[in-house]
Amino acid sequence: MNHYWTIIFLFLSSSIAVIIFLIIKNRLLSFIMRKNLFSINYSGRQVVNCAGLLIFLPIFLVSLLVFLIQPNLSQLIFVLMIPLLTFTGLFDDILGDSSTKGLLGHASALRKGEFSTGFLKALLAGVLGLLLAWANYKNLLIMIIDIFLFSLSVNTINLLDLRPSRAIKGFGLLLIIIATIAHFIKLHFILPTIIVLLLYIRGELDEVYMLGDTGANLLGGILGFYGVMVLHPIAKGILLILLFSMHLLSEFVSISKLIERTPWLYRLDMLGRERKRSY
């Protein structure tokens, strides 16, 4: 596909995603509210949970359309990944135990013989990471890096989803870094998501709704998928170390307090939000 047709293709796929989002937004929010899927956020305000479904439908339908136009194994995995991660996150939003937190917390629950929705999410991320790494197999070392890079990416956005829009900003920042390093190739995997998020984010900034694990899982999967698909091995290794360090740090330090104590991160975190500190 030449540059001219690539631009047209990106424009049409993003436009379709926008149209779908605008059509379903109010209807889907009403449906979620009728099902009483609310949560109390960090500031004590009741907000609509599982709003990641607003992102899921446009992205899934557009990705399915892209696969039908350009069928290939990577696009098939992308299409399958979207509902699997979204509905595993939805399952966690509805039935998850909020008292079990962090990788160590879920590992402890597993050792005690207790069921953990976090373990289910980690298992699915590992299987999808294995499938994606196998589809892009180059050698065993890169395959192992790809598996862990994808798996940690899925949970990274969950780690950030503690304040309005933080997960989206973190996703956007990491995505820009990855896309820049990769010279903006394979944008059809991410551009519709970026456009839909620009429409979605205002409601989250206003604390009307929140992604929940439903949306955080999905965004983490898209981030990991794109990183595996476009980065060179050295860049993958550096990103993997960064994500692993972030997970390790989160087990011992509050991410929210760390962000508040880092001026540029705090300014980014508060961008578009009501300026109040309730950490």
User: For 184-231, what is each residue's pLDDT tens digit?
Assistant: 999 999 999 999 999 999 999 999 999 999 999 999 999 999 999 999
pLDDT digits (tens, 9 = 90+) for 80-90: 999 999 999 99
Q: How confident is the model at residue 108 (pLDDT cuts 50, 70, 90)?
A: low
Q: What is the mean pLDDT of residues 42-52?
A: 94
Q: What global pTM score does this model have?
A: 0.92
| DSSP 8-state symbol, 215 | H
Cα separation values, 234 from 135, 146, 261, 262, 271, Å: 19, 12, 31, 28, 32
Q: What is the residue range of 126's domain?
A: 3-270
Q: For residues 221 and 132, is the Cβ–Cβ distance under 8 A?
A: no
pLDDT of 116 above 90: no
pLDDT of 274 above 90: no
Q: What is the pLDDT of residue 228?
A: 97
Q: How confident is the model at residue 257 (pLDDT cuts 50, 70, 90)?
A: very high
Neighbours of 94 (CB within 10 A): 15
207 inside domain: yes
189 inside domain: yes
Using CB atoms within 10 A of its CB, is residue 9 exposed (0-12), middle (13-18) or buried (19+)?
Answer: middle
276 inside domain: no
Distance of alpha carbon 234 from alpha carbon 120, whole angstroms: 30
Distance of alpha carbon 90 from alpha carbon 177, whole angstroms: 28
Q: What is the pLDDT of residue 277?
A: 46
pLDDT of 52 above 80: yes
277 inside domain: no
28 inside domain: yes
208 inside domain: yes
197 inside domain: yes
Number of domains into which the chain is organized: 1
Neighbours of 234 (CB within 10 A): 9
End-to-end CA distance of the chain: 49
